[in-house]
Amino acid sequence: MMVANALKLAGALAICLGLNPFLGYTLVGIGAAAYSPAKYGILGEITSGEKLVKANGLMEASTIAAILIGSVAGGVLADWHILIALAVCALVYAAAVVANLYIPRLSAARPAQSWHPAP
């Protein structure tokens, strides 16, 4: 999760620094694609039973709220100045990287199992 957030931060910083926007958006997209399965996967490891249903609901509701609030706030900031909007985006990604430091480290749920397909 931290690597995914760091990729998003690198992408936002790349755009802020005037690098190719394609590179920046690609990094942000890869980070987002990697982060989403991880955030739902960890819920099953830290909760169970009835709490898992509530945790999934809270995660989904907070994701939708973040999308809505972020879209409005991003539009307002971009209307004011695009670099300020990008800088705020980078700061939020940086805060997410720091927040990842507080996620408890978990041992592998199935250490003997491999994700590689059988030959």
Number of domains, the chain? 1
**116 domain residue, yes or no:** no
* Least trusted range by pLDDT, from 42-51, 72-81, 94-103: 42-51
Q: Is the pLDDT of residue 70 over 80?
A: yes
Q: Does residue 29 fall inside a structural domain?
A: yes
Q: What is the pLDDT of residue 80?
A: 94
Burial per residue of 26-40, b for 16 or more beta-carbon CB atoms within 10 angstroms, e otherwise:
ebbebbeeebeeeee
Domain assignment of residue 86, yes or no: yes
Q: What is the pTM of this model?
A: 0.76
